[in-house]
């Protein structure tokens, strides 16, 4: 072999070794090529801002507990801000968290529209936003992912259950959730889609009870007093708290909830599952509030520059007289 060819071979070997040493960029974020931890965002406790809707229901209380306890468990620094039922307060909270420069913002939006300016501001400040619980109509480019429930499907499942129970014949009064919230808009849509297949099923009155027990009761009292609604046979409430308020109103009017009037709703709260077991309500489709673990899994990944699934829906059950007595023993909220 000539000296020139030998030198060429040595050079190739050196280049190959050098490439092998610096060419592997597939290691997980947060570790060096040798596997030892680095000091990037993933290895520091992250700073998360969480914007809650308010405290309208037992579901919301369980959701807040799940978020706070999970953050504490993981050593995440949490700036929890309640919108107290006001979209303006939620928008102001977005501005506050952007100014603070948190690592990730988690937003549980009261309304499903009007979020573009806040989301654009977060994007300009390089702060990723995770949408929790209630979906929004903004372009998915403006936020990282959505984690919550499929409200449309929840409404459909309630509608289908009622159709089966009544052989497709029901005069329904509807107690809606917060105006403009995805939980109210999509549950209504899903329910209407399901009952549209049955000409004998009709929604004869609808009014918002704002997802609150007291307001659900007031709406039901007004329905019961309205002579035009004498023929009602079923109540569809967009959440369990309002259904429980409606049950009180029906009892006070001297009627039997669950028998004289069928009661169906969404959430799967322990008190509602108990009411079904007692025969005072008929069906609830679960909506999972315990989102803390999934939200912070996503927040930690995003802060570490990793990809997350764009849409993550919870798996949810349906409770009726067939399983309520057993299920109530295991319900956590």
Binding interface with ligand AHR (CB under 6 A):
56-57, 59-60, 133-134, 183, 211, 239, 241, 266-267, 287
Tokens of 296: 């912070």
Closer to ligand AHR at the Cβ: 215 or 282?
Answer: 215
Tokens of 320: 């009726």
- Distance in Å, CB of 143 to ligand AHR, minimum: 17
- Distance in Å, CB of 210 to ligand AHR, minimum: 9
- Distance in Å, CB of 105 to ligand AHR, minimum: 18
Closer to ligand AHR at the Cβ: 98 or 235?
Answer: 235
- Distance in Å, CB of 267 to ligand AHR, minimum: 5
Angle between helices 240-252 and 270-277 (to 10 degrees): 40
Helix (H) or strand (E) holding 301: helix 292-303
How distant is the alpha carbon of residue 246 from its chain centre?
24
Closer to ligand AHR at the Cβ: 160 or 267?
Answer: 267
Closer to ligand AHR at the Cβ: 303 or 327?
Answer: 327
- Distance in Å, CB of 55 to ligand AHR, minimum: 9
Q: Of 234, 216, 223, which Cα lies nearest the Cα of 161?
A: 234
How distant is the alpha carbon of residue 236 from its chain centre?
20
| Cβ–Cβ under 8 Å, residues 268 and 316 | yes
| Cα dist from 18 to 4, 23, 24, 36, whole Å | 21, 8, 11, 20
Closer to ligand AHR at the Cβ: 56 or 160?
Answer: 56
Closer to ligand AHR at the Cβ: 103 or 210?
Answer: 210
- Distance in Å, CB of 110 to ligand AHR, minimum: 9
Closer to ligand AHR at the Cβ: 170 or 272?
Answer: 272
- Distance in Å, CB of 138 to ligand AHR, minimum: 17
| DSSP letters for 50-106 | EEE--S-SHHHHHHHHHHHHHHHHHT-EEEEEE-TT-HHHHHHHHHHHHHHT-SEEE
Angle between helices 151-166 and 182-195 (to 10 degrees): 40
Output the CA torsion 212→216→218→219 (10° steps).
130
- Distance in Å, CB of 289 to ligand AHR, minimum: 7
- Contacts of residue 176, Cβ cutoff 8 Å, sequence gap at least 6: 184, 188, 206, 207, 208, 209, 238
> What are the beta bridge partners of residue 129?
105
Closer to ligand AHR at the Cβ: 174 or 241?
Answer: 241
């Amino acid at each position: 072999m000539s000296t020139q060819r030998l030198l060429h071979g040595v050079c190739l070997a050196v280049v190959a070794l050098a490439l092998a040493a610096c060419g592997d960029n597939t290691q997980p974020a947060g570790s060096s090529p040798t596997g030892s931890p680095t000091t990037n965002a993933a290895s520091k406790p992250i700073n998360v801002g969480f914007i809650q809707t308010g405290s309208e229901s037992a579901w919301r209380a369980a959701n807040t507990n799940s978020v706070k306890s999970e953050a504490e468990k993981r050593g995440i620094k949490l700036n929890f801000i309640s919108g107290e039922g006001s979209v303006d307060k939620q928008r102001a909270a977005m501005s506050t968290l952007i100014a603070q420069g948190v690592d990730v913002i988690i937003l549980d939006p009261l309304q499903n529209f009007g979020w573009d300016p806040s989301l654009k501001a977060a994007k300009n400040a390089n702060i990723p936003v995770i949408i929790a619980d209630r979906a929004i109509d903004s372009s998915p480019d403006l936020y990282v992912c959505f984690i919550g429930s499929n409200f449309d499907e929840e409404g459909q499942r309630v509608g289908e259950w009622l159709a089966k129970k009544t052989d497709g014949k029901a005069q329904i009064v509807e107690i809606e959730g917060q105006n403009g919230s995805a939980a109210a808009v999509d549950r209504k849509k899903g329910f209407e889609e399901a009952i549209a297949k049955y000409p004998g099923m009709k929604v004869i009155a609808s009014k918002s009870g704002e997802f609150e027990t007291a307001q659900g009761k007031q709406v039901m009292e007004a329905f019961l007093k309205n002579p035009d609604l004498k023929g009602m046979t079923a109540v569809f409430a967009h959440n369990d708290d309002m259904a429980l308020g409606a049950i009180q109103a029906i009892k006070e009017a001297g009627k039997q909830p669950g028998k004289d009037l069928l009661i169906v709703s969404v959430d799967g709260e322990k008190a509602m599952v108990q009411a079904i077991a007692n025969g005072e309500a008929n069906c609830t489709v679960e909506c999972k509030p315990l989102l803390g673990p999934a939200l912070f899994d996503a927040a930690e990944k995003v802060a570490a520059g990793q990809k997350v699934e764009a849409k993550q829906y919870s798996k949810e059950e349906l409770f009726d007289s067939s399983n309520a007595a057993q299920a109530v023993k295991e319900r956590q909220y």
